[in-house]
Amino acid sequence: MTELGDDPDVEALAAARREEALATNQRRLLVLAGDHDAGIDAAFDAVRGADVPDDEVTFVTAREGFRFHRVEPKRASSLLGTTRTLVVFDAHEEFSANALGRVAGAVDGGGLLVLLTPSLDDWPTRRDSFDERLAVPPFTVDDVTGRFRGRLVSTLRDHPGVALVDLDSGTVERDGAYRQGISFDAAPPRIPREKNRRFPRRAYEDCLTADQSDVLASLEALAEPGTAVVVEADRGRGKSSAAGLAAGSLAAEGADVVVTAPGKRNAAEVFARAERLLSELGALRGGGADDFDILSESGGRVRYVPPTEAGAAAADADALVVDEAAALPVRLLESFLAAPAVAFCTTVRGYEGAGRGFAVRFRDRLDDADREVTDARLDDPIRYAAGDPVESWTFRALLLDARPPVDQLVADATPESASYRALSPDDLLADEHLLREAFGLLVLAHYRTEPDDLARLLDAPNLTLRALTHEGRVVSVALLAREGGLGPDTRRHMYDGGRIRGNMLPDVFTSQLRDEDAGVPVGYRVMRIATHHAVRSSGLGSRLLSAIRDEFAGDADYLGVGFGATPELLSFWRDNGYGTVHLSTTRNDTSGEYSALMMRPLSPAGRDLRNRHAAWFLGRVGDVLGDALSDLDADVARAALAAVDRTSSPDLSEYEWRVVVSASYGPGLYTTAPGAFRRLSLAHLTNPERASLTPREERLLVRKVLQTRPWDAVADELDFHSTAGAMRALGDAYEPLVDEYGTDAAHEERERFR
C-alpha cells in the first residue's frame, strides 16, 4: 500500500496506467473508493492525468453539471456499439450490474475505466435504488443482502490490472501495474483473390482483423438460397460489423436483406457498416442507418424488421441477418428458417445473451433443417488486444463466462443417482465452481440472462435456489421466487391497478382477473428451471420438481410457473402436476408467444385459489379463443386446455343435443347452435382421454368451433381438399363426443339416423 498523504496523486496514477494501456493496446481499471464528492474531484484528476480530450470522455452518473458527455446509469445501454477512451462510472447512485457490463464494454483499447465507489469496506452494507428494486413485497430493503457487492469488492482487490485508491485514507491500495498477458496486434485482414470472392474488395479492406475477413468470406454463402451461416464471438470481436459488411455487399448486388435483433439498438452497428460500405462503393441511393432502412443504386435494400415479424418478411426477401440470436427464443429462431438464406450471429459470452444456450437449444434443429450450414467464429478482439485485464475482470465479476460442468462429468447422471440440495447464496459464494455451474445452467434456461440476475440470485430476499447434483456437479437447477403473503393494503393497491414487483401470479390474478384475495396464499413460482444438456430428457427436471414439491408442501400454499406457451412446455408442466389457470391475451414483444400461468396446490388455501381460477379460466376461454386468442396456435390451445385441472361440463339442453346429433350423424348444420358445439368441444379438450379424437380432429375443433376461423382458412391450414371435406370432418369429429357425453335422449336421436 502506497501512502499518498492528504492529497492523493490520482493524476500521476492515471497517467501511469494510461501509458501502460497505450503501450499494450489493452485497457486498465482505476477504482476511486470513498467519499462521493472526493471521488468526483479525483475523477477529474484522472482525466487530466490520462491526457484524454474532453470529447473522448464519458461520465456515467446521476449527477449533472459536467463539461463532459454524461449518461445516466439507467441509460447505460446507449453506449452499446460506441467506443470511448475514458469512461467514469459513478457507482454511488443507481448502480447495477447491467450498467457496469455495458459501461466496461464501451472503453477502447488504450483507454481507462474509472470506477467511483463508496468505501470498499462499507459498500456491501450500503443500500441504493437497485436494492429497493430487489425488495419485493412483503420484503423490505432491510432484507436485501450485499453479497454481490461483497464479491465484486473482492475481485477489485485481487484482479490484475486494477488500480485501487482509498480516498478516505489517502492511500493507494493497489497501483494496478500489469505487464503480463501482452499480445501482439491481431493478424491483418486477408483479402481473397478476385476469382475466389463474391463480395467487393472494399468490404474486405474495411475489416480490421484476419478473423473478421474470414467471417465475411463465410457470409458470402448468403448469396445462395438454402444456406445458413452461424457466427459466434465474444463481445468486442467485430461480429456485428462483419454482418453489416455482408448485408451491404448483398444490397450492392441488388439483394433485399432483412435484419432483425432483439431491439433496433442491437442492430445499429450492422446498419452503420452497411451504409458506410455502400457509400464507399458509390452505391448508396437513399435511406440511412438512423432510419434502419438503406437503399442501394442497384435496387437492393437493408431494412430492420422486429423479431416477431422477421420470419414472414424474410420469406419474401433474399437473405436474413439475425444479430444477437442467442437473446431470442427458439420459436422465433425456427421461424427465421423461412428465409432463403439466413445468418445467425450470436454473442458467446456477454449480457446480450448466451451463445452456448443458442447452441444447445437451437443448433440441433438447424442441423436437421434442409440447409447447408457454415460455422464461423471470431476470437481476436478488435477494440483492444488479447489478454485485456478489464475484459477478464468483467467476465469474472459478472460471471459472463459461467458454464455448466463439462459433459463427461455428468453424462452418467440419472434421477436415482442425483442428490437434491438447497443452494444458499452463502453456499454459492463459498464455492466458486458451484456458483459458476449453477449460474451457467440458469443462463441456458432462458433466452436472455443479464448480470443483474447474478445480483438477484445472491441478494434478493424472495429468491431461493434448488438443485440436483451428481458426484458434486450441478446437473439440474431451479430458481424459485416466493410470492403472495401480502397484506390488505398491498392487495387493495394491486386491485386498483398498482403494480407490485416480484409477485407475478398474485399480480395477474388480482389486477387482471379481479381476485383481491389472490395475494393472501403464499406460493413459490419456478422462475427458471434447467437440466444439463448432456442428460436432458432423462427425468432429472421432473425429479427436481418432485423434490421441490415435497420440501415446500408444509411451507407454502402452491407452486406456480409462467412461461411462453408451447405444446411441449405445457405438456411437461402438466405431467408434473401443474394445471393451467390463465393464458395471456397479448403476445410477448420479444418471443412472440402468449404466456401461460400454471399452478400446483400444496394446501387447502392453494387448492381453493387454483380451483376458482381454473373454473374462471374455463368459463371465459371459449369466448377469448374466438376473440383475443383467435390466432393462438391450435396445438398450444389443445395442450393448455388438456392441462386444466378441472373438466368442463357440456351442459346442453335437449334442443341443443338434437342439433349436435343432427350435425354429426344426420343432415344438420353446426351453424345452427355454435354455442352448444363450443361447450362440447371444451368438454373434450379438457379431458381428451375420455373420447378418441385424432390430433387433426382436435385442431379442427379449436380452429373452427372455438376460434371461429373461416371454413376456407381452416380447410387450407389443416390440409383438407375442400371446405366441404372440412365440414364433413367436423361432423365426424362430433360423433364420438355424442357417444360419450350425450344424454339418453341424445342417443335416442342418434338411433334415428343410424
pLDDT of residue 182: 55
Query: Using an 8 Å Cβ cutoff, are 145 and 458 in contact?
Result: yes
SS3 664: helix
Residue 355 binned pLDDT confidence (cut-offs 50, 70, 90): very low
SS3 719: coil
Q: Alpha-carbon distance 703 to 712, whole Å?
A: 11
Q: Alpha-carbon distance 648 to 645, whole Å?
A: 10
Residues of the chain above pLDDT 70, percent = 96
Backbone angles phi, psi at 13, to 5 degrees: -65, -45
pLDDT of residue 81: 65
pLDDT, tens digit, for every residue of 670-725? 888 899 999 999 999 999 999 999 999 999 999 999 999 999 999 999 999 999 99
Residue 590 binned pLDDT confidence (cut-offs 50, 70, 90): low
Asked if residue 327 has pLDDT above 80, the reply is no
Among the residue ranges 475-484, 510-519, 661-670, the one predicted with the least confidence is: 661-670
Contacts of 203 (CB under 8 A, 6+ apart): 216, 245, 246, 248, 249, 277
Q: Alpha-carbon distance 544 to 559, whole Å?
A: 13
Asked if residue 446 has pLDDT above 80, the reply is no
Whole-Å CA distances, 678 to 468, 620, 651, 725: 44, 12, 11, 20
Q: Return the C-alpha cell found at 736.
A: 364420438
Residues of the chain above pLDDT 90, percent = 77
pLDDT, tens digit, for every residue of 384-429? 888 899 999 999 999 988 889 999 999 999 999 999 999 999 999 9
Q: Alpha-carbon distance 270 to 259, whole Å?
A: 8
Q: Alpha-carbon distance 705 to 702, whole Å?
A: 6
Query: Using an 8 Å Cβ cutoff, are 482 and 470 in contact?
Result: no
pLDDT of residue 291: 85
Task: List the one residue out of 716, 568, 704, 726 whose CA is nearest residue 630.
Answer: 704
pLDDT, tens digit, for every residue of 514-560? 999 999 999 999 999 999 989 988 999 999 999 999 999 989 999 99
Contacts of 468 (CB under 8 A, 6+ apart): 413, 418, 419, 420, 421, 474, 475, 476, 477, 540, 543, 544, 547
pLDDT of residue 352: 47
SS3 92: coil
Domains and CATH numbers, the chain: 2-174 (3.40.50.11040), 194-378 (3.40.50.300), 407-625 (3.40.630.30), 654-753 (no CATH)
Q: Alpha-carbon distance 443 to 427, whole Å?
A: 19
pLDDT of residue 358: 67
Secondary element (H or E) of residue 482:
strand 473-484
Q: Return the C-alpha cell found at 105.
A: 464494454
Task: List the one residue out of 567, 551, 724, 740 whose CA is nearest residue 661.
Answer: 740
Q: Alpha-carbon distance 730 to 528, whole Å?
A: 40
Query: Using an 8 Å Cβ cutoff, are 150 and 124 in contact?
Result: yes
pLDDT of residue 447: 58
Among the residue ranges 16-20, 89-93, 261-265, 515-519, the one predicted with the least confidence is: 261-265
Asked if residue 60 has pLDDT above 90, the reply is yes
pLDDT, tens digit, for every residue of 374-385? 999 988 888 888
pLDDT of residue 354: 44
Residue 530 DSSP code: E
SS3 354: coil
pLDDT of residue 449: 76
Q: Alpha-carbon distance 320 to 313, whole Å?
A: 9
Q: Alpha-carbon distance 705 to 675, whole Å?
A: 9
Mean pLDDT on 262-280: 91
Asked if residue 350 has pLDDT above 60, the reply is no
Q: Return the C-alpha cell found at 189.
A: 485482414
Q: Alpha-carbon distance 503 to 139, whole Å?
A: 11
pLDDT, tens digit, for every residue of 629-659? 999 999 999 999 999 998 888 999 999 999 9
Mean pLDDT of the chain: 92
* Amino acid in the structure at residue 216: L
pLDDT of residue 310: 95
DSSP annotation string for 97-117: HHHHHHHHHTEEEEEEEEEEE
